[in-house]
Chain A
Amino acid sequence: ETGVTQSPTHLIKTRGQQVTLRCSSQSGHNTVSWYQQALGQGPQFIFQYYREEENGRGNFPPRFSGLQFPNYSSELNVNALELDDSALYLCASSSGGERGHTDTQYFGPGTRLTVL
């Protein structure tokens, strides 16, 4: 076990709704990254937070947003859900060095989101 927890484990929403996913990072880690993993594919980077600030973003629209709290836990918010947002959402924590550079990430179990 990595010590990274995510909630909820499963979620079903309908198109147009909004969702918030939560992640608690491993003790001592100051960096959280979020990934979207569609069935049969590798994880795709959404964004990273380092010391409460966004520290890099992948090719995802602005309706994907996030937050990191002082205890380094994090939220991923998705507005105006679309059918293609159905996926496993993974968060990964790490100890970021300069500018949040990381080399090893520890993943949580993921949240399975289904959009109907």
Chain B
Amino acid sequence: SQKIEQNSEALNIQEGKTATLTCNYTNYSPAYLQWYRQDPGRGPVFLLLIRENEKEKRKERLKVTFDTTLKQSLFHITASQPADSATYLCALDGDNYGQNFVFGPGTRLSVLP
């Protein structure tokens, strides 16, 4: 079955630096991969989607890369701010015609002032 790993449970960085989060997957070739942000006690909020034929996608201070050979996605937040502190989840489309999503365990990012 599909397995998703995210680089670490928690990541602390200084304000203004670039945060880089990693998502690795095995036993699957997703058509696309998504990143979500989740604040404590809230539902995930969609951030970016990148398809298998795309190498990179950007949105404001966010950048996502997708390497289907390495089976890895990198999620970057540039010029990080304390307000970026949250848990970030990667998700890939499941093996049932996209009728479900398989989520990673998440990385809890703390941006220190």
Q: Which 6 pairs from chain A and chain B are nearest by CB? A: A107-B43, A42-B103, A56-B99, A45-B100, A101-B98, A43-B103
Q: Which residues of A contact B (CB under 8 A)?
A: 2, 4, 33, 35, 40-45, 48, 50, 55-56, 58, 88, 90, 92, 99-110, 112
**Which of B36, B42, B98 is the most central at the interface, judged by chain A CB atoms within 10 Å of its CB?**
B98
Q: In the complex, A2→B42 CA distance in Å?
A: 12
Contact (Cβ within 8 A) A109 B43? yes
CB contact between A56 and one of B4, B96, B105 (< 8 Å): that residue: B96
Residues of B close to A48: CB separation below 8 A: 99-100
Known: A109-B42, A112-B41. A104 touches B102 (CB 8 A): no
Residues of B close to A44: CB separation below 8 A: 103
Q: How far in angstroms is the closest Cβ of chain A from B89?
A: 5
Known: A48-B100, A99-B99, A105-B101. A43 touches B93 (CB 8 A): no
Q: Write the chain A residue with the least CB distance to B99.
A: A56
Q: In the complex, A106→B43 CA distance in Å?
A: 9
Known: A2-B43, A90-B43, A104-B34. A58 touches B105 (CB 8 A): no
CB contact between B100 and one of A4, A33, A40, A107 (< 8 Å): that residue: A33
